[in-house]
Structure 1
Amino acid sequence: MSRNTHVRRPGRRAAFAAGLVLAVGLGVSAQAAAQAAVPAKAPVKTSAAVRTVNGFNGDVVTQVADFYGAYVDAKDAPRGPDAALAKALRAHYLVPAFAKKLEAWEKTNKTDGVLRAQNVPVDWTVRGDGESREITVTHRFGGGESPTVTTDLVVKADAVDGVSDIRTKSAR
Structure 2
Amino acid sequence: MATSRAFRHIACIPPGAMVLGPAMSEPAAETTDTASAEAIAVVHRHSGSPASAVDHVADFYGAYTDVLHDAGHYRLTDALRRHYLTAELRHSLKSWEAAHQQDGVLHAKGVPTRWSLEYNDSGMGHCWSRVSLTWNDTGKQKYTIHLVIQSDLATRLISGIRVDG
**Counterparts of 1:8 and 1:155, CA distance in 2:** 52
2:130 counterpart of 1:136 = yes
Partner residue, 2:146: 152
Who is 1:66 aligned against? Answer: 59
Contact map agreement 2:129 2:150 (CA 8 A) in 1:
yes
What's the Cα RMSD here? 2.4
- In structure 2, do the counterparts of structure 1 residues 76 and 8 end up closer, same or farther at CA, with 3 Å as the change threshold? closer
What's the secondary structure of 1:121's corresponding residue?
coil
Structure 1 or 2: more strand by fraction: 2
What's the % identity of the aligned pairs?
A: 29
Please list the CA deviations of residues 65-117 of structure 1 after superposition, one character each: whole Å capped at 9, or x if unmatched: 0000000011111xx23111100000001100110110110000000000111
CA contact (8 A) 1:59 1:130 kept: no
Q: Residue 53 of structure 2 contacts residue 156 of structure 2 at CA under 8 Å; is this kept in 1?
A: no
For 1:162, the equivalent position in structure 2 comes to 157
Compare CA radii of gyration and give the structure with the larger one: 1
Give the number of equivalent residue pairs.
134
Letter in 2 for 1:57: P
Q: Distance in 1 between matches of 2:144 and 2:48?
A: 24
Q: Structure 2 unaligned runs (5+)? A: 5-30
Unaligned runs of 5+ in 1: 1-5, 10-39
Q: Are 1:109 and 2:100 counterparts? A: yes
- The structural deviation recorded for 1:156 is 0.5
Q: Which runs of 4+ in 1 moved over 3 A?
A: 6-9, 40-43, 129-132
Given that residues 60 and 130 in structure 1 are in contact (C-alpha distance below 8 angstroms), is that contact kept between their aligned partners in structure 2?
Answer: no
TM-score (norm. length: structure 1): 0.69
Amino acid at match of 1:59: S
